[in-house]
Structure 1
């Protein structure tokens, strides 16, 4: 028989940490192919690809947060720009029963980890639709990115004004 105190869930299940995706969406996106059709001609040189990734979290309500995964990139051969893109892929997440000191790592590591495959596919499709082979960005180490940002913040706080 179901436990009537919690809609059929056991009391210990109700207190388990939860991370729910309430929505995900393209917030901003641009793709540039400024030198087409010249940039689409075969080349013996491999393009230099540069990609930057940032994560931002914005509280919406007590347990709801918006996460923006920003991915910027460009491909060049020498000084010739082949293509450039800028994507902000967002998600709204609900976090419940997570200790306060663990919320920030969940927001900055787990939430973007859930968004990344969708953002990666949008970029790959845009690059392919721009006339190039699809660009499949390697998986991102969001733990390493989080630690790097913490180290940068700590170093900035130690700098004299």
Structure 2
């Protein structure tokens, strides 16, 4: 039994020596831009309101001057309309960013890592701010569902591939 444990431990140590451990630290996170407009209060509309909320998410990542540092931003646009009349209730625009120290990620995996894992780490903080701002703005707190950053990444890759194929197919016609 002990020999099996030693073999397993030796195999783990060998694997760790071959592939360096990925290191990722959130150095800081911050709100770059925040705007909340309570359209309902400005118009003074009364009556029954049934909100229909639309959330759009964009991601951005860029290298920073120090080695292994990257800035990743989630750009959020939340619009709420009344279901019956399509009148705007509120508009929330926010850009939330994090600065990450990332090491030992292979170059071909760095872009997906920055666009999937980093936003996943800072999203709970963004969600809390959105909830607080909508509540403080006079509406029930907007408790956003988890965002599937992997699916957003895949959709963007497919969109870019379709754009590249479109000019090529237009030339053939």
Which TM-score band (shorter chain)?
A: 0.7 to 0.9
1:70-109 mapped onto 2 (5 Å cutoff): 70-77=75-82, 78-109=85-116
If you compute each CA radius of gyration, which structure gives the higher value, 1 or 2? 2
Matched residue count:
149
* Aligned equivalent of 2:160: 153
1:108-147 mapped onto 2 (5 Å cutoff): 108-147=115-154
Deviation at 1:42, TM superposition (A): 5.8
Query: How many angstroms apart in 2 are the aligned matches of 1:86 and 1:108?
Result: 20
CA deviation string 1:14-52 (max 9, x = no partner):
93111111110000000000230635x562x52111110
CA RMSD across the alignment:
2.0
* Aligned equivalent of 1:6: none
**What secondary structure sits across from 1:159 in the alignment?**
helix
CA deviation string 1:120-139 (max 9, x = no partner):
11111010001110001110
Query: How many angstroms apart in 1 are the aligned matches of 2:27 and 2:164?
Result: 35
* Aligned equivalent of 2:24: 19
Query: How many angstroms apart in 2 are the aligned matches of 1:64 and 1:15?
Result: 18
Q: Moved runs in structure 1, 4+ residues, more than 4 A?
A: none
After TM superposition, the score normalised by the length of structure 1 is 0.86
